[in-house]
Structure 1
C-alpha cells in the first residue's frame, strides 16, 4: 500500500481533493479543508541554496542508493532535537521515512496481522484509519474528553478484556499533541499512565507527533515514548515545518521493531538526495527561527479564525481553541448532517472536512467539521467562515420550516 502524500477523502456522495487554493470547487473557493502549511513561509531560498551546496562536497554520492553524508547529518540532528521531548534514542532506534504517513504504514505492517485489534482516539486521523483497515485490523475508537484520550477508560477496557479472556489490542494509535482533528493535548500524567499500560499489557503505542513543534502556548510536554521506549514507536515529520513536498519524516522505534522496519524498506533511506539537501540545510539554517515564524503566523491565524467562527456562527457551534497545531474542531448544536453542510459550503465557495471521516465507522455521533487555519491568510479565513455560515443558514432554514 502506498500512503497518500496529502490527505484525501473520498465519499460515495462527495469528493474533496486538495490541489491548491481552489481545490475541488471554483477558482475563488477558500480551502479550509486540509492541513497544509502556509506556502509563503516555506524556506524556498534556503532549500534551493542547500540543494546547490549538496552536490559540491558530496558530488555523485548524493545520487547513489545509500546517499552521502546528509543521511547521517539528518539522523544525528534529529536524535539531538528530539531530546526536547524526552526522547533519548540511539542510531539503532532511528529510521528515516517518507513523512509520518509512511511511518504509520510501516509500523502497521510490522506489528499487525489481519484480525488484530487496534484502538484509536475517536475521532482520529483518517489516513491512519485507512492504513489499519488495509492491514485487516479490527479498529475500535475510544472516547475522548477535553484533555484527549480517556486513559481511565483505556485501563477499564484492558482489565475487562483480560478478565474475560478476550482479545487485547496489539496497538493503540495516539496523537498526543494538538490532536488531528480535535486539537486536544494529552496531559503528562495520562501520557505516563498510557505508557505504563502498554508495558503492563504487552502492547504497542504508535505516537504520531506531526505537530509537536508547533506549540503556541505553554511548555513542551514529554513524549509517551519517554515513559516506555520499549513499547512505543514515535513519529515526527518535516512536512509541517520545512515543506510536505520533501516527504521526509522520522520514526523512533525499539531496536527490534526498527530492524524489522529496515527489512521492509530494504535498509535504504528514503530519497537520499533529499536527505543530502536537508542535512546540508540543518548545518547552518536557523531552524528555531523558522519555528518561531511559523508559530507567530499560525497563532494569529488560529485566533482570527476563532473570532470569525464566534462572530458568524455564535451559539450554533462549540469549539476549543487548541494550544498548537493546524485545526479547529467545530461541533454544531443543531442536529444537522455535517456531510450536507460540507456540500453546501462547497457551493458557497468554502472547502471543509465533515467529521464523519474521522470516525472508525464513518458515522460521527454529532455534527462535526474540521477547519484548517494554517494555509489561508486572514482575508481568506474571514471569507471562508462567512461562506460556511451562509451555507449553514441555507441548510437549517428548510428544516425549520418543515418543523
Structure 2
C-alpha cells in the first residue's frame, strides 16, 4: 500500500478559539447558556408540517427542481413589505435571498473586498462574521462598543488619520445595530446617521447585520442605517431568529447593481426552492405580528429571570447592561479575571457559557462572558446562574490563596 505523502492545505483557516470547547465534558444535567438557541416553544411544528405538505401539493415537482435567481417570488415580496416597518425601502430586485445571513456576510465580503483590503468591526463582534472576514484574507481593525453601540467618534478619528497620512481606508465596516451579539446593546440614532454620513464621505460600505431586529422587548424601533444611506449600506437579516435556524434562510438588501454582483458570487444558484416554498406557505398562514409578540413575551421573561438570578447569585464583582431585545446578556468581571479559567469547572457543575475571548480580534479582553437567555426556561436559568456563580467564587478563592502563597 502506498504511503500517503503529507498534503499542504489552505492557509486560510483563521486562528480563532474553537467554540466547541463550550460543549466539552457534557454534564447529564447541562444547562446550556453558551449559545443563542431559540426556545423550543418558538417552533410552530403543526404549521410547519402543514406548510411542508402544501408546498408539494400545490407546487408538485417544481419545488424539487433547480431554481434560479431568488426562487419563489413570495418570499422576496414578504421581505420587501416587512422591511418597510424597519425603514428599509427596497424593490424585490434589490433583495437577495440567501442560505442564512452568514452566507449573506460571506457573499457581501467577497463582493466588496480583495485579499489585503481593510475591514473594520466592533470590538467585541460576532465571531461568525470575524471568521468570514479572516477567510476572505482581509485585515481587521476593531473599535470599542459602549452602551450606545460602536464608538463612531473613534471610527471618524481613525478615518481622518488614515486620510491625512495616506493610509488604507476600510472597504467595509461591519456592525450589528440592534441587540448586538454579544453585548445586547443597540446603536443610537445619532451614531447610525453618522455612520451613513461617514460611509459616503470616505467611500466605504456599511454591512448592517440586523439579525435580531424583530426581537424588541420594548416595542420600539430605531431607523436602520440603510435608511440614511442606501447607496453605501448592505442590509442583512434572517429567518433564523424568528422562524427556525434549521431552514437556513436570510437575505441581503442593497442597490440593484450591487445585488446583481452578489448574485454572481452565490455559488448555489438560488437558495433551496423547496425550503422557500415551505416558508412561503408558513408566512401566508401565520399571524406574524402575533408570532413575534409571542417570542418577545417568552424572551423578555427569561431575560428578566436571568437579571434577577445574577443579582441574587453574584456580588458587586460583575456588571452588565440589561438588553432591550435579542438573545444575549454580556457579563463583565473585574479586570484581571480570565473567564476561560473557570469554564471547565462550570461544565462539571452543569452549566455552559461562552467566554469573551471568542468575540475579540486578540485575547486581551478576557474578563467577559456571553450568556444566552432564550433557550432555557426561568427555573433552568436560575440554577444555571447559581452554578456559574459557584464556579466563579471557587476560582476567585483559589486565585486569592495562590496570590497569598506567592507573597
Structure 1 67/61 Cα, relative in aligned 2: closer, same or farther at 3 Å?
Answer: farther
User: What SS class does the counterpart of residue 37 from structure 1 fall into?
Assistant: coil
Shift of 1:274: 0.4
Offset from partner CA, 1:379-401 (integer Å, 9 cap, x none): 11111101101100110111112
Shift of 1:16: 2.4
Asked if 1 retains the 8 angstrom alpha-carbon contact of 2:71 and 2:270, the reply is no
Asked if 2 retains the 8 angstrom alpha-carbon contact of 1:58 and 1:69, the reply is no
Distance in 2 separating the partners of 1:164 and 1:203: 18
Instruction: Name the residue aligned to 2:394.
Output: 394
Shift of 1:70: 7.0
Give unpaired runs (5+ residues) of structure 2: 1-15
Shift of 1:217: 1.2
Aligned length: 388
Shift of 1:24: 5.0
Mapped pair 1:244 → 2:250: no
Asked if 1 retains the 8 angstrom alpha-carbon contact of 2:67 and 2:272, the reply is no
Distance in 2 separating the partners of 1:215 and 1:350: 27
Distance in 2 separating the partners of 1:69 and 1:266: 13
Instruction: Name the residue aligned to 2:375.
Output: 375
Distance in 1 separating the partners of 2:70 and 2:164: 53
Instruction: Name the residue aligned to 1:3.
Output: none
Instruction: Name the residue aligned to 2:231.
Output: 230
Instruction: Name the residue aligned to 1:260.
Output: 261
Offset from partner CA, 1:298-325 (integer Å, 9 cap, x none): 0000000001011101302000101100
Distance in 2 separating the partners of 1:41 and 1:280: 17
Asked if 2 retains the 8 angstrom alpha-carbon contact of 1:75 and 1:94, the reply is yes
Asked if 1 retains the 8 angstrom alpha-carbon contact of 2:332 and 2:367, the reply is yes
Q: Return 333-342 or 348-357, whichever deviates more.
A: 333-342
Instruction: Name the residue aligned to 2:311.
Output: 310
Instruction: Name the residue aligned to 1:4.
Output: none
Asked if 2 retains the 8 angstrom alpha-carbon contact of 1:70 and 1:280, the reply is no
Normalised by the length of structure 1, the TM-score is 0.93
Shift of 1:255: 1.9
Distance in 2 separating the partners of 1:251 and 1:234: 6
Distance in 1 separating the partners of 2:28 and 2:255: 47
Structure 1 49/218 Cα, relative in aligned 2: closer, same or farther at 3 Å?
Answer: closer
Distance in 1 separating the partners of 2:169 and 2:146: 23
Offset from partner CA, 1:259-280 (integer Å, 9 cap, x none): 1111112582211100000111
User: What SS class does the counterpart of residue 243 from structure 2 fall into?
Assistant: coil
Mapped pair 1:273 → 2:274: yes
> What pairs with 1:32-47 in structure 2 (closer than 5 Å)?
32-47=33-48
- Aligned counterpart for 2:18 among listed residues 10, 33, 36: 10
Instruction: Name the residue aligned to 2:105.
Output: 104
Shift of 1:256: 2.3
Distance in 1 separating the partners of 2:327 and 2:69: 34
Distance in 2 separating the partners of 1:207 and 1:108: 12
Give unpaired runs (5+ residues) of structure 1: 1-7, 18-22
Distance in 2 separating the partners of 1:228 and 1:67: 29
Shift of 1:334: 5.3
User: Which protein shows a greater Rg?
Assistant: 2
Distance in 2 separating the partners of 1:255 and 1:70: 17
Asked if 2 retains the 8 angstrom alpha-carbon contact of 1:194 and 1:224, the reply is yes
Mapped pair 1:194 → 2:200: no
Asked if 1 retains the 8 angstrom alpha-carbon contact of 2:69 and 2:269, the reply is no
Normalised by the length of structure 2, the TM-score is 0.92
Instruction: Name the residue aligned to 1:79.
Output: 80
Distance in 1 separating the partners of 2:98 and 2:315: 42
Asked if 2 retains the 8 angstrom alpha-carbon contact of 1:69 and 1:276, the reply is no
Asked if 1 retains the 8 angstrom alpha-carbon contact of 2:70 and 2:270, the reply is no
Structure 1 68/24 Cα, relative in aligned 2: closer, same or farther at 3 Å?
Answer: farther
Shift of 1:159: 0.7
Q: Return 273-282 or 61-70, whichever deviates more.
A: 61-70
Offset from partner CA, 1:343-375 (integer Å, 9 cap, x none): 2211211110000110011331x5000000001
Distance in 2 separating the partners of 1:222 and 1:69: 26
Offset from partner CA, 1:119-156 (integer Å, 9 cap, x none): 10100001110111111111111012211111111111
Distance in 1 separating the partners of 2:92 and 2:335: 52
